[in-house]
Amino acid sequence: MREVKTIVTTAGRPDDLSLALAAFACEQLDAPLEPRKKRSVRKISQELHANVIVAGKNRFEYYAFGAEEPFFFHPNSAAFRLKRVARGEVEPFLEAAQLEKGNSVLDCTLGLAADAMLAAYTVGEVGQVVGLEANPNVAFIVEQGMKSYDTTELPLTACMRHIEVVQAEAVSYLKTLPDNTFDVVYMDPMFEEIIEEANNFEALRIAGEHVTLTDEWVREAYRVARKRVVLKAHFRSEWFAKYHFQQLTRMTAKFHYGVLVVDGSKY
């Protein structure tokens, strides 16, 4: 099977900024620059059998090979969820994680970082939030997006800037860590069943890595966590029972959170 490589190109009519951003992406991703030459992104992708990173004037976009729509960073649900938390309303993720100021959080599946932003808000400047993303192109898009996304909304901006993005596969990264490194380890694998209402995640679903929960992943997460391991999955998922998570049911939600409280014993 022919390998799908990654190349970088510019906006349709590149200016100096677009060219500079393209050069930066090439350096960060160790990818070649392909001049646009008035071609569509789809044509470039097909001609070169490649994933395409587009350095536009306002943002980076990632066209995974064969994808119809680009993946780009947007805070998505984080903005209104943070506003609810600021008003004192219950947030299911935070209810499951039970975070406190100064805590440390490892998000094993960063995605668009909405949950990581909520974690960053809760643990504060003295806390730590690290987000893992296995796909290097997705990691690049999200990291650069959180650094440059133009918003005057606080605390959203501060939360985005506080997250450390690490390009790594979750289990491999967990294996490098000592016991009890993070207060909370969070896992949100791609759902086994597609949630129809979540169509805004379709570009991420195509672009991102498709991983499933494994015995090793849960065991390593439990070892690395000091307080608890939190899982997000479809409400019908067998993972909750299989791995002994306490499933926090919500009658109107199609995904639930599950909790493993670390009690000092081996998983």
Assess whether 159 and 248 both reside in one domain.
yes
Assess whether 43 and 137 both reside in one domain.
no
Q: Is residue 77's pLDDT more than 90?
A: no
Assess whether 57 and 83 both reside in one domain.
no
pTM for the complete prediction? 0.91
3-class secondary-structure state, position 241: helix
* Residue-wise DSSP of 69-87: S-B----TTHHHHHHHHHT
What's the token pair of residue 62? 């990632």
Assess if residue 56 is contained within a domain.
yes
Max distance between CA atoms of the chain, in angstroms, equals 61
Rounded Cα–Cα distance for residues 98 and 203 (Å)? 31
Assess whether 102 and 191 both reside in one domain.
yes
Average pLDDT over residues 196-210: 51
Average pLDDT over residues 257-267: 88
Quote the pLDDT of residue 78: 87
Q: Is residue 153's pLDDT more than 80?
A: no
Identify the band that residue 86 occupies on the pLDDT scale cut at 50, 70 and 90.
confident
What's the token pair of residue 256? 């639930």
Quote the pLDDT of residue 28: 96
DSSP state of 44: H
Assess whether 37 and 147 both reside in one domain.
no
Quote the pLDDT of residue 207: 53
pLDDT tens digits along 94-149: 999 999 999 999 999 998 999 999 999 999 999 999 999 999 999 999 999 999 88
Quote the pLDDT of residue 80: 87
Residue 257: give its domain's CATH number: 3.40.50.150
In the chain, how many domains are there?
2
What's the token pair of residue 257? 């959170």
Assess if residue 205 is contained within a domain.
yes
Q: Where are the alpha helices (DSSP H) in the chain?
A: 16-29, 41-48, 78-86, 92-97, 114-123, 136-148, 156-162, 170-175, 202-207, 215-224, 239-242
Nearest to 205 by CA among 59, 66, 44: 66
7: how many CB neighbours lie within 10 A of its CB? Answer: 19
Assess if residue 154 is contained within a domain.
yes
- Residue 247 is part of which domain span? 78-261
Assess if residue 9 is contained within a domain.
yes
pLDDT tens digits along 29-60: 999 999 999 899 999 999 999 999 999 888 99
Assess whether 32 and 106 both reside in one domain.
no
3-class secondary-structure state, position 175: helix
Assess whether 87 and 208 both reside in one domain.
yes
255: how many CB neighbours lie within 10 A of its CB? Answer: 17
Residue pair 109/217 in contact by the 8 Å Cβ criterion = no
Residue pair 22/16 in contact by the 8 Å Cβ criterion = no
Assess if residue 147 is contained within a domain.
yes
What's the token pair of residue 61? 């976009």
Assess if residue 73 is contained within a domain.
no
Q: Is residue 200's pLDDT more than 70?
A: no
